[in-house]
Structure 1
Amino acid sequence: MQTKHPLQDLDFTGKRVVLTGAAGVFGRWIAEAFHAAGARLLLSDRDDAALEALRDALGGDVVTHRTELTDDTSIEDLLATVAREFGAADILINNAGIYPSGFLLDIDGAEWDRIFDVNLRAPFVLTRGIARQMITEGVRGSIVMISSGAARKMRASVAPYCISKTALDRLTKGFALELAEYGIRVNAVEPGFAPGSTASPLTDAHVTSVLAGIPLGRGSEPQDAPAAIMFLASEAAAYVTGATIAVDGGNSIGSLVVHQDKKKAL
């Protein structure tokens, strides 16, 4: 018997969803949730093999596009595919991103550009293109940026990533302001900690340390971030734009890790 997806009762039947970074950990969770809720999916990723494996796993009417987000020509081809398959999307989720380590004193200009090309420039170019299609087709759509708690709290050795996510938050608000007159809402979600990325592998010690400090006592699970994204994409959030929702178990507000010589009062 097929297991019911925890978000299956949400109804996105026929909604046209474009998702970048679909083959990653969060991308797969998002794709599975919207697919279970009846959406039509156009999945984008640079990893062609992983993308096709995801399409095969989902089954049904799923379109894929191998996109190199550092290449404007590739993004334009993705936009052309959206126009051909959907006319216009109802929902865009800018999920793709990279998390390379590197100190500001050490990083070179090419790596800086790569981080900002993927994490900031690509969401700008794609959001602009998708929004234009929505406006032309009269779609009162929803756009969700996948940000990070790193937008508000610097992290040692990954400052360029933090800076790119801070800028993405401002981009979210800028688009929200300008697209409001067309009924297009733009918001952001900050997912919680979910080890397992092949793009940015983490040591077991680091994973253990992070999990120990999360106030709600666990890492992000498959339904957590998708639930917030689906809320923002739904009519339940019809009056929400320019907002950012942290879905991280409280990790961004503080850590439960204490010094060994300190004890709780109770």
Structure 2
Amino acid sequence: MNSTLVGQKAVLTGAGGVIGRWLARGLREAGADLCLTDTGPEALDGVLADLGALGLGSAGFTRPADLTDAAQVRGLADEVAARWGAPDIVVNNAGIYPSAFLLDTSDAEWDLMFDINLRAPFLLTRDLARLMVAAGKRGSIVNISSGGAKRARRTAVAYCTSKVALDRLSEGFALELAEYGIRVNTLYPGFAAGSGVTSLTDAHVASVSTANPMGRPTEAQDVIGPLVFLCSEEARFITGATLAVDGGGSAGVMTVFQDKKRAL
């Protein structure tokens, strides 16, 4: 275990997902005590099993929370306040990626997308940042966004729109919290198969992976190092920034849409 974040206390949402489990391990391996949250105890039990002997740290704990419910978000912040006073690190990782054409998207589906992908990060960042300011904590907040904020995707426009808004929210919080020494940055992981919301075929996973400029999906170590860096003292002068660790996927794809007219 390295000591980059020893003594730090970190809140991580969406801990039960593929990327959430990676981030939990990375934060814990760097020495942080963890507050992990997800929708239900089963998901959190799975993360604990993955962490094994690493555990959550001596001050760590889990708390199931429905992030679409403002009262439960407030309850999460209240428990953090009661146990820790304030966190040092907040990672807003929870998000959903349902696939649907805009013409087929219902009012409820649109609202759910923005409740989880945008409203929850706003509520939790606001409430936990208040604790950090009151405690004089010069901490780090990282929002997990997506290259979809830069490029619209057919059947995922609602998702992409929510991530554009999350990026702007991150910048806004970065501006308003800078005077308190609280940094707010955005991390773009690349494609990682294993969503609990959208079922992906093997053919789709292969297609997306080969379209990536680096030719593969995201792996755990691709995102762990950048996250720990953004949370560490080494990134003390970085705020309002976006770090893409997606193999170039946010820049473009390798798919050729027409035959070349001549050889290079």
Same fold, TM-score > 0.5, yes or no = yes
Question: 1:10, CA displacement in angstroms?
Answer: 5.2
Question: 1:205, CA displacement in angstroms?
Answer: 1.3
Query: Which amino acid in structure 2 is aligned with residue 180 of structure 1?
Result: A
Q: Distance in 1 between matches of 2:170 and 2:76?
A: 21
Quick one: which of 10, 15, 19 aligns to 1:26? 19
Match of 1:3 in 2: none
Quick one: which of 4, 14, 29 aligns to 2:7? 14
Contact residue 30 and residue 228 of structure 2 kept, 8 A: no
Quick one: which of 35, 43, 53 aligns to 1:50? 43
Secondary structure at 2:220 match in 1: coil
Query: Which amino acid in structure 1 is aligned with residue 185 of structure 2?
Result: N
Contact residue 55 and residue 64 of structure 1 kept, 8 A: no
Q: Distance in 2 between matches of 1:97 and 1:215?
A: 24
User: Per-residue displacement from partner, 1:80-99 (whole Å, max 9, x unpaired)?
Assistant: 11112211000000000001
Q: Distance in 2 between matches of 1:127 and 1:17?
A: 13
TM-score, normalised to structure 2, is: 0.94
Q: Which ranges in structure 1 are unaligned for 5 or more consecutive residues?
A: 1-7
User: Per-residue displacement from partner, 1:92-130 (whole Å, max 9, x unpaired)?
Assistant: 000000011122222121111111000000000000001
Question: 1:259, CA displacement in angstroms?
Answer: 5.0
Contact residue 52 and residue 64 of structure 1 kept, 8 A: no
Q: Which ranges in structure 2 are unaligned for 5 or more consecutive residues?
A: none
Question: 1:48, CA displacement in angstroms?
Answer: 1.5
Quick one: which of 132, 138, 141 aligns to 1:140? 138
Question: 1:258, CA displacement in angstroms?
Answer: 2.4
Counterpart mapping for 1:86-235 below 5 A: 86-235=84-233
Question: 1:262, CA displacement in angstroms?
Answer: 3.3
Q: Distance in 1 between matches of 2:65 and 2:260?
A: 50
Any runs of at least 4 consecutive aligned residues in structure 1 with deviations exceeding 4 A, and if so which?
A: 263-266
Contact residue 141 and residue 185 of structure 2 kept, 8 A: yes
Query: Which amino acid in structure 2 is aligned with residue 189 of structure 1?
Result: L
Q: Distance in 2 between matches of 1:54 and 1:103?
A: 33
Match of 1:252 in 2: 250
Q: Distance in 2 between matches of 1:187 and 1:232?
A: 7
Alignment coverage as a number of residue pairs = 259
Q: Distance in 1 between matches of 2:221 and 2:112?
A: 30
Secondary structure at 1:66 match in 2: coil
Contact residue 35 and residue 56 of structure 2 kept, 8 A: no
Q: Give the 3 Å change call, closer, same or farther, for CA 264–222 of structure 1 in structure 2.
A: farther
Match of 1:41 in 2: 34
Q: Distance in 2 between matches of 1:260 and 1:151?
A: 26
Q: Which segment is superposed worse, 126-135 or 193-202?
A: 193-202
Q: Which segment is superposed worse, 8-17 or 132-141?
A: 8-17
Secondary structure at 2:102 match in 1: coil
TM-score, normalised to structure 1, is: 0.93
Question: 1:260, CA displacement in angstroms?
Answer: 7.4
RMSD, aligned CA: 1.6
User: Per-residue displacement from partner, 1:59-93 (whole Å, max 9, x unpaired)?
Assistant: 25331010101000110110011112211000000
Secondary structure at 1:83 match in 2: helix
Query: Which amino acid in structure 2 is aligned with residue 191 of structure 1?
Result: P
Contact residue 34 and residue 56 of structure 2 kept, 8 A: no
User: Per-residue displacement from partner, 1:140-185 (whole Å, max 9, x unpaired)?
Assistant: 0100000000011100111111110000000000000000110000
